Chain A
Amino acid sequence: MIAQPKTARHPESGASSPLSVRDLTVVYREKPALWDVDLEVPAGQLCAIVGPNGAGKSTLIKAVLGLVPVASGQVRFFGQSLEQARKRIGYVPQRGSVDWDFPTSVLDVVMMGLYGRLGWFRRPGRLEREAALRCLEQVSMSEFAERQISQLSGGQQQRVFLARALAQNADLYFMDEPFAGVDAVTEEAILHVLHQLKGQGKTVVVVHHDLQTVRDYFDHLTLLNVQVIASGPMDETFTPENLKRTYGERMRWEA
């Protein structure tokens, strides 16, 4: 049943939002990386987090997932704690965060998405292989299943990470710069998956760096620069005024 299209999970009446962040502050050494962040992510939408370099975009994702220590604040997923909601959360880290010369195959990496579900001491078997293959199909990487991962291009690596997260069959996805430095085919594949996920009623939070495309790709926008500058529906939030406040007088535009 993993990663197969299913009918949208209807938000129960009065259900809490997929991600609700309150007063989140993260401090590296002395300098705050995130300051008093409040964020409500609406269900079933594609949400972008945008901001200049060093604005804390990746840190925000890592902090809500418990990957970096949090100085203060509260994070709830579907009204639950991280531990309770863990199985409903999928994560696509930056592809540069791992060593792609690791001795393993594409299919093996995708199956890692099932490890949380498998539980202790159980090895992935035939069912897991099939589920992983279906996820590879969704990102058009089926023919690479047995490849050693060092033979992949950057875009292919990104699609493998995406497939691994799909295998988790989560309701809320966090993706850290999935569009960074990928080829056109991969960009198409990622967009296709994003829309598929949305069609299944899932929520996706994406750290994005490209102001040119953000309006076309996403429904909801959060502008971040250590603090949340603005957050809301794309049309209301993507304004010159807000962008200027986010990127500031320093005008340190991203490449």
Chain B
Amino acid sequence: MSDLLLIFTDYTLRNVALGSAMLGVVGGVLGAFAVLRRQSLLGDVLAHAALPGICLAFILTGAKAPLILLVGGGLAGWLAAWLVLAVLRHSRLPEDSALGVMLSGFFGFGVALLTFIQHSNNASQAGLDQYIFGQAATIVASDVLNFTVLGGLALLTVGLFYKEFKLLAFDPAYAHSLGLPVRGLNTLLTSLTVLAVMVGLQTVGVVLMAAMLIAPAAAARQWTDRLEAMIGLSALFGAMAGVSGALISATRENLPTGPLVVLSMSAILLVSLFFAPLRGLVWDWARTRQHRRRVRLERLLLDAHVLHTHGTLTPQALAERRREPVAVALRNLEALRSLGWAQEHPQGFILTPTGEQKAHELEQAMRVLPQRVEGSS
């Protein structure tokens, strides 16, 4: 609890938490569109491609003002995205190859530039490598302001073009047929994703940024079937991950914020994948299991009903009919009894009225199914 209060009193932590939360919100919203358009990997390319842009901005201006470096990174990311689209349009390279090549190409160039800068004896270069994995501890109030402006711009634009972006994500060909400028909207949405990446460069860095685009959206999709709600949840999950990552790293020695933000986000995603109602794997699994169990019991009841009508519902007869050991048959009869479908009787077992009723209903239902040819069991 006292850790939580630090957010309000500790200047550094407050900035780090705010910056991370901002990243979570903006990444969450833009990521929702990226995931739905199956362009998650494009986000990854944008982020990695920012590195050479950051280095070039530093070389050209000699400045280390974060905003200038972020703009450089953003421009490089944007260029990479444009190149990917151009390659896809004009070559036969498959999409994943185009994305992979562009990602490693830009990132490799960035690392080379970084090494070059580090060996150029420029005293002010120290710390440029923080953009690889992020270094949230360096976030100060002016950075938070930058993030707010960049992020606010992105969110506002999404708000303005919400219905167009929705249609673009669902059915771009139809959007085109309505006369919407699909290419322009595509470029706009990609540019907004670049803004989100810029917000994240200082916190999580180019390598981990993709997680902040993909994971919140993927987690949010698990909980809702409505786009509005998905976007809202995605932003919320991103913000939660941002704040908890900042808090955890603040309360432990030597734990970096960026990776912890991403780890927190991964934890939220894992919980969502397994436990979200309707879409969660656990419920899926439970439903399948329950269904199987029901069908097994119904088959059992039908077998028991046949024997019951001949007055020979005994463990031995059931075992013979179902080709199972007598011990198993006994256990099955117990199961029927505990359901209230069968009861003990001097000659073994009989079905209760409820059990008979249920068996009749099942037989009626079976009539609807295609009949199996006699003797082909």
Binding site for B on A (CB under 8 A): 62, 65-67, 83, 86-87, 89, 91, 93, 97-99, 102-105, 108-109, 112, 115-116, 118, 120-121, 123-124, 148, 150, 164, 168
Contact pick for A116, options B179, B221, B227, B229, CB 8 Å: B179
Q: Are A112 and B179 in contact (CB under 8 A)?
A: no
Sample 15 A-B pairs with CB under 8 A, ordered by A number. Answer: A67-B177, A83-B179, A93-B173, A99-B170, A102-B169, A103-B221, A103-B225, A103-B226, A103-B227, A112-B167, A112-B174, A115-B178, A115-B180, A120-B161, A123-B162
Given contacts A104-B166, A115-B164, contact A89 B225 (CB under 8 A): no
Q: Bound state CA distance, A91 and B178, in angstroms?
A: 8
Q: Using Cβ atoms and an 8 Å threshold, which residues of chain B touch A108?
A: 227
What are the 5 A-B residue pairs with the smallest beta carbon separation, nearest first? A116-B178, A148-B225, A91-B177, A86-B179, A98-B171
CB contacts (< 8 Å) of B221 on chain A: these are 103
Q: Tell me the bound Cα distance from A66 to B178 in angstroms.
A: 11
Q: Are A98 and B170 in contact (CB under 8 A)?
A: yes
For B167, the chain A residues whose CB sits under 8 A away are 112, 115
Please name all residues of chain B whose beta carbon is closer than 8 Å to the beta carbon of A124 when the two chains form the complex. 163
- Given known contacts A83-B179, A89-B177, A118-B163, is B225 in contact with A112 (CB within 8 Å)? no
For residue A118, which residues in chain B have a CB less than 8 angstroms away from its CB? 163
* Complex CA–CA separation, A65 to B224 (angstroms): 35
Judged by DSSP, the binding face of B is helix
Contacts of B174 in A (CB 8 A): 91, 93, 112, 164
Q: Give the chain A neighbours of B291 by CB distance below 8 A.
A: none
For the complex, what is the distance from the CA of A93 to the CA of B160, rounded to whole Å?
27
In the assembled complex, the Cα of A65 lies from the Cα of B172 at a distance in Å of 13
On chain B, the number of residues with a Cβ less than 8 Å from chain A's Cβ atoms is 26
Tell me the bound Cα distance from A99 to B174 in angstroms: 13
Taken together as a complex, chains A and B put the C-alpha atoms of A211 and B278 apart, in Å, by 43
Chain A residue numbers with a CB within 8 Å of B177 are: 65-67, 89, 91, 93
**Which residue from B36, B162, B176 sits with its C-beta under 8 Å from A67?**
B176
Which residue of the partner chain, among A97, A99, A103, contacts B173 with CB atoms under 8 Å?
A: A97
Contacts of A168 in B (CB 8 A): 178
B contacts, CB < 8 Å to A: 36, 160-164, 166-167, 169-171, 173-180, 221, 224-227, 229-230
Among residues of B, the one whose C-beta sits closest to the C-beta of A105 is: B226
Tell me the nearest residue of chain A to B159, going by C-beta.
Answer: A121
- Decide: B160 and A121 in contact? CB cutoff 8 A: yes
A112 touches B173 (CB 8 A): no
Question: How far, in whole Å, are A99 and B177 apart by their CA atoms in the complex?
Answer: 18
User: Which of chain B's residues has its CB closest to A122's CB?
Assistant: B163
Using Cβ atoms and an 8 Å threshold, which residues of chain A touch B161?
A: 120-121
Chain A hits for B180, CB < 8 A: 115-116
Nearest A-chain residue to B229, judged by Cβ: A103
Chain B residues lying within 8 Å of A97, measured Cβ to Cβ, are: 171, 173
CB neighbours (8 Å) of A120 from chain B are 161, 164
Bound-state CA distance A168–B174 (Å) is: 12
19 other contacts beyond A103-B225, A103-B226, with CB at 8 A cut-off?
A: A62-B173, A66-B176, A66-B177, A67-B177, A89-B177, A93-B174, A98-B171, A102-B36, A104-B225, A104-B226, A104-B227, A105-B225, A112-B166, A112-B170, A112-B174, A115-B178, A116-B178, A116-B180, A118-B163
Cβ–Cβ < 8 Å partners of A109 in chain B: 170
CB pair B227–A67 under 8 Å, yes or no, is no
A136 vs B177: C-alpha distance when bound (angstroms): 21
A89: chain B residues within 8 A (beta carbon)? 177
What is the bound-complex CA distance between A164 and B175, given in angstroms? 12
With A and B bound together, what is the CA distance between A120 and B165 in angstroms? 11
- A112-B171 CB under 8 A given contacts A86-B179, A103-B221, A104-B166: yes
Given known contacts A97-B173, A104-B170, A105-B226, A86 and B163 CB-to-CB distance under 8 angstroms: no
